[in-house]
Amino acid sequence: MTKLLRVVSPDGKYKEKDEPPLSEEELLKMYRYMMLTRALDTRGMALQRQGRIGFYVPSSGEEAVQIGSSFPLEPRDWIVPAYREQGAALLRGIPMAGIMAQLYGNEEDTAKGRQMPNHFTSRAAHFVPTSSPVGTQIPIAVGLGWAARIRGDNVVALGYFGDGATSQGDFHAAMNFAGLFQANTVFVCKNNQWAISVPFGNQTGTNEVAIKAQAYGFEGVRVDGNDVLAVYQASKEAIDKARFGGGPTLIEAVTYRMGPHTSSDDPTRYRDEAEVEKWRKKDPIVRFQRYLKEKGIWNEEMEVEIRQEAEAQVEEAVVRAEKRGLPSPATLFDDVYAEMPWHIKEAKEAFLEYLEKS
């Protein structure tokens, strides 16, 4: 079994020599983003339950993985996400209003209401459009990192995927290309123990993901995914390595999907509450809070302030999103091609005429 890297123990204890060189400000930024992600997820699920948005994919429990792994990235780097990366999207600079517009699929959504909630995209944030098919994003992350290498740029692509995704052929093709061509790509597998109802133990014949890197000739590391500093540390090393020509790394972040797979899922059908309870005690936010407290840079007052600010930010975005209308029906026909071909033009005209009439 590949060694599990950990910096902060569940009770918040740590050894100074293990700590990554992060300033107080940086640590608090991490904490704020973890709290913000949690606030978004809590509200997102509620909005869905209230029927105000159609669907939601919570990332609760996986905040440390998202924030820890994307924290070392620079603006010129790229993120190639799966559908459970809202924390990384926020940290990357997609504004909360943009996130909310996407969830509502309203006229302010830069993607014009074309995808389900949680399928974020932003060119400015170098956040590649999220896709639903599991695994297809992984070769794309390789292409970005490989292109950087070919062009001689110190730019990195970070690709996220789940434990379930490791079973897909595209994972294999991607890892093999990356290893052979030494792409500037870092693979972050969020092993949250479940692929919908399938436990990791029924996903593959190995009991870890990291070992799979051996099949491609590069390093696989395993890290406690509920320890944001451990994730940060491993990711920072892998990102630096990739940036300066050292090739890819596979990071397995061992974590847990605390909520349902999506708002459509009922996990009580297939997993024990006891297991969830066990992991709830390992909540990555609580762990980090304990660490910050231990270091003396956390107090109750601050906690209230951070929480309130996070909630306010989400609330403001909700209010704004609910004021916005839907994208105009005419936008349905845009962006299939750079220029609209006749058959789409003709359909658009007929369609708008029909809408007017009816």
Partner 1 sequence: MPEMNIVQAVNSALLEEMQRDDRVILLGEDIGKNGGVFRCTEGLFEEFGPDRVIDTPLAESGIIGASIGMAFYGLRPVPEIQFLDFIYPAFDQIVSEAAKFRYRSGGEYPCQITIRSPYGGGIKGGHYHSQSTETYFAHTPGLKVVIPSAPYDTKGLLLSSIRDPDPVLFLEPKRIYRAGREEVPEGEFTIPLGEAKVVREGADVSIFAYGAMISQCTGAAEQAEEVGISCEVVDLRTLVPLDIDAVLDSVRKTGRVVIVYEATKFLGYGAEIAAILAEKAIESLEAPILRVAGLDTPFPYTHENLYLPDAGRILDAVEKVYSF
Binders in 188-207 for a second copy, by CB under 8 A = 202-207
Smallest separation, CB 212 to a second copy (Å): 4
Tell me the HSE value of 76 on the side-chain side, using a 13 A CA sphere. 8
CA dist 169 and 179 (Å) reads: 16
Smallest separation, CB 166 to a second copy (Å): 8
The three-state (H, E, C) secondary structure of 144-204, written as one string: HHHHHHHHCCCCCEEEEEECHHHHCHHHHHHHHHHHHHCCCEEEEEEECCEECCEEHHHCC
Under rule CB under 8 A, residue 215 binds a second copy: yes
Taking a C-beta distance cutoff of 8 angstroms, is the pair 195, 117 a contact? no
Please identify which residue in 195, 285, 317, 318 interacts with ligand TPP, judged by CB under 6 A. 195
Stretch that binds ligand TPP, among 28-36, 67-75, 190-198, 301-309 (CB under 6 A): 190-198
The H-or-E segment that residue 190 falls in is strand 185-191
Please identify which residue in 45, 148, 189, 238 interacts with partner 1, judged by CB under 8 A. 148
Q: 72 or 87: whose CB is closer to Mg ion?
A: 87
**Which 3 state secondary structure label does DSSP give 199?**
strand
Catalytic positions: 257, 261, 270
Q: Which does 300 bind (CB under 5 to 8 A by kind): ligand TPP, partner 1, Mg ion, none?
A: none
Under rule CB under 5 A, residue 163 binds Mg ion: yes
Taking a C-beta distance cutoff of 8 angstroms, is the pair 70, 83 a contact? no
How many residues sit in the footprint of ligand TPP (CB under 6 A)?
16
Q: 132 or 206: whose CB is closer to a second copy?
A: 206
Burial of 336 per CB tally in 10 Å (0-12, 13-18, 19+)? exposed
The H-or-E segment that residue 276 falls in is helix 273-280
Under rule CB under 8 A, residue 217 binds a second copy: yes
Taking a C-beta distance cutoff of 8 angstroms, is the pair 254, 191 a contact? yes
Stretch that binds Mg ion, among 2-10, 63-71, 162-170, 208-216 (CB under 5 A): 162-170
Please identify which residue in 107, 131, 176, 309 interacts with a second copy, judged by CB under 8 A. 176
CA dist 73 and 108 (Å) reads: 27
Please identify which residue in 264, 272, 316, 319 interacts with partner 1, judged by CB under 8 A. 264
Give the pairing of strands 157-162 and 185-191: parallel
Q: Which does 172 bind (CB under 5 to 8 A by kind): ligand TPP, a second copy, Mg ion, none?
A: a second copy
Taking a C-beta distance cutoff of 8 angstroms, is the pair 148, 184 a contact? yes
CA dist 294 and 102 (Å) reads: 38
Please identify which residue in 130, 192, 249, 255 interacts with ligand TPP, judged by CB under 6 A. 192
Please identify which residue in 111, 229, 238, 321 interacts with partner 1, judged by CB under 8 A. 111
Question: What letter does residue 220 receive in the DSSP assignment?
Answer: E
By CB under 5 A, name the binding residues for Mg ion. Answer: 162-163, 192, 195
By CB under 6 A, name the binding residues for ligand TPP. Answer: 84, 132-134, 161-165, 190, 192, 194-196, 257, 261
